[in-house]
Amino acid sequence: MRWDASCKDFKTAAQENVFEVSASIPTSEFTKSQLKEWMKPVEAPLPKFLAASGRKGMVYREPYEVTLIICTFNGPLVLSLRPAVAALSAGNPCILKLSEALLATDELLLELIPKHFELEALSAVVGGREIVTNLSKLPFDFIFLTGSVGVGKVVMRAAAEHLTPVLLELGGQNPAIVDETANVPDAAKKIVWGAMARGGQWCTSPGYAVVRLALDGVSGDATGTLLDIVGWDAKIVCYAAPTREPIKVNPLGLVAKRASIHPFFMHYPENLPKIPEKIRTAAQLVATHQLRVPIAAVYSARSFKQALARALAGGKVLLDFTDES
């Protein structure tokens, strides 16, 4: 498989592109090695009165038949080829609905699939929600979806018309809980990795962490959001206000959490030109909750200037006050 397709679409760490390819190949090899064993009939338990009469219960695995696999953008190969391997190995011909956001990967798969598979076994189409809606109305025998809750509801409603079994893998939020027994530097590194991997857009990405310090580089409604997620006796340091919006917090939240807000430098006309336009635009999205920005790097408290420089350049930072070096 051409490496550059995944790189062009994914635009993230090299190891994630390696994972996309390397995780799909072993899945196929492992499935082939286990398939004969999986296909064997399995004896099932029976009620005692039937077992006493010498009868046996057996489970014979049979295909569902035609399967629709609706793929997501954040796992262009893993969340398309791996489900396809499972479906095909069980004798189910399938259709892949590829994400329209992955132009290079879509082009490659649309080229390779007809070369290596009969049309009746595996085919692929590209499209957005309208295509999903129209496909899900067809009388498939099984539907597998990786996507949002909204799309999941659309697919499930349509599948109900045909009593089609549906397997939904939907996105969500995951908390990262760090208690007093934790190795904080180690926990910080792992939380940062989880938040950065795939641009923060994957199902196991930590959605929020209870912290004692937050750096507010947005202001406006975003400050209130920070107050919601910080822990007791937390400090919120406001070091910029590119949204030009005043800080908005619930005073009761400050009292209930015994939290405090500390200005570093706020929005002044002479400071605004120092903040890149991309940061000001992103700040507006963050303030209105339209964008989840993952943490990008961990700095010790002694490296605050470097952390601030990275933040102003567009990165997100986490300060580690446990580093005594």
How far is Cα 15 from Cα 17, in angstroms, rounded to an integer? Answer: 5
Residue 265 CB: number of other CB atoms within 10 A? 11
Give Rg (Cα) of the chain: 25
Q: Is 169 a catalytic residue?
A: yes
Distance CA 112, CA 102 (A): 15
Q: Is 7 a catalytic site residue?
A: no
Catalytic residue among 71, 107, 161, 203: 203
Q: What DSSP string describes 97-130?
A: EEETT-HHHHHHHHHHHHHHS-TTTEEEEEE-HH
- What contacts 58, CB < 8 A, 6 or more positions away? 41, 42, 43, 44
The residue from 169, 245, 270, 277 that is catalytic is 169
- The Cα 306–Cα 313 span in angstroms is 10
Rounded CA separation 271/307 (Å)? 17
CB 95 within 8 A of CB 135: yes
Which residues are known catalytic residues?
A: 169, 203
